[in-house]
Chains A and B, each alone.
Chain A
Amino acid sequence: DAGVIQSPRHEVTEMGQEVTLRCKPISGHNSLFWYRQTMMRGLELLIYFNNNVPIDDSGMPEDRFSAKMPNASFSTLKIQPSEPRDSAVYFCASQAQGSSYNEQFFGPGTRLTVL
């Protein structure tokens, strides 16, 4: 299996622009997680899905952020409009169904820079 796939790997954009990050989870995994990592705040869980349904979005910083999972093999995280403080590495992770002790598998991340 190719693992969790994220695109793009790097994104540089200007303040006010829309940014869309993409994630393809491991086939057969039914839970998907979006994280943000910064030096100041560390690793933060933004939102997670189970069977394509958002379960907990309490970590989404504000309405500028939205996430979707239209099917089991694809998810997007959108920021509109983007701001310099959104600069961070965004990770997607997936997990197999059924048990609290199943590990999460992380993608390589998308490094976002908002100028």
Chain B
Amino acid sequence: AQSVTQLGSHVSVSEGALVLLRCNYSSSVPPYLFWYVQYPNQGLQLLLKYTTGATLVKGINGFEAEFKKSETSFHLTKPSAHMSDAAEYFCAVSEGSGGYNKLIFGAGTRLAVHP
């Protein structure tokens, strides 16, 4: 079965600093990987996803993630943090096939951005 590990439940950065949120996955098949963001009192929304092809994936709000098969990682980065990036971030891997599939989520990383 697939699984996801997010290293660091809380990350704090200064405004303008690099954001790096770590995600490692375990999968017996080529994985489909996702990053979701949850702003306070809201549902999750998709930031970006990796399916096949280019290993560097660009998402919304300046975020990107790189799929590294050799490291079983899918870390999320943003060159310069903004105050509005403060939220909880979830990494997920798809499990199943065809129409019968579900997402396996990591425990989440809460990002704080300070002035």
CB <8 Å contact, B99 and A98: yes
Q: What residues of chain B lie closer than 8 Å to A42, measured between beta carbons?
A: 105, 107-108
CB distance from B58 to the nearest CB of A (A): 15
CB <8 Å contact, B99 and A30: yes
Q: Which of B32, B34, B90, B94 contacts A43 (CB under 8 A)?
A: B90
The dominant DSSP class at the B interface is strand
Q: What residues of chain B lie closer than 8 Å to A100, measured between beta carbons?
A: 32, 94-98, 101
CB <8 Å contact, A91 and B44: yes
CB <8 Å contact, B102 and A33: yes
* B45 interface residue (CB < 8 Å to A): yes
CB <8 Å contact, B90 and A103: no
CB <8 Å contact, A101 and B94: yes
Known: A42-B107, A42-B108, A43-B90. A103 touches B46 (CB 8 A): yes
CB-nearest residue of chain B relative to A106? B43
Question: Which chain A residues numbered 29 to 60 have a C-beta less than 8 Å away from chain B?
Answer: 30-31, 33, 42-43, 45, 48, 50-51, 55-56
* B51 interface residue (CB < 8 Å to A): yes
* B7 interface residue (CB < 8 Å to A): no
CB <8 Å contact, A106 and B32: no
Known: A91-B44, A100-B32, A108-B43. A48 touches B98 (CB 8 A): no
Complex Cα gap A45–B2 (Å):
14
Complex Cα gap A115–B44 (Å):
27
Q: What residues of chain B lie closer than 8 Å to A103, measured between beta carbons?
A: 34, 46, 49
Q: What residues of chain B lie closer than 8 Å to A45, measured between beta carbons?
A: 102-103, 105
Q: Given known contacts A93-B44, A100-B97, A106-B44, what 10 new A-B pairs fall within 8 Å (CB)?
A: A4-B43, A31-B101, A42-B105, A50-B99, A55-B100, A91-B44, A100-B101, A101-B49, A103-B34, A104-B103
**29 residue pairs A–B, Cβ–Cβ below 8 Å:** A33-B102, A42-B105, A42-B108, A43-B90, A43-B105, A45-B103, A48-B102, A50-B100, A51-B99, A56-B102, A99-B98, A100-B32, A100-B94, A100-B96, A100-B97, A100-B98, A101-B32, A101-B49, A101-B94, A103-B46, A104-B103, A105-B46, A106-B43, A106-B44, A106-B45, A108-B42, A108-B43, A109-B42, A109-B43
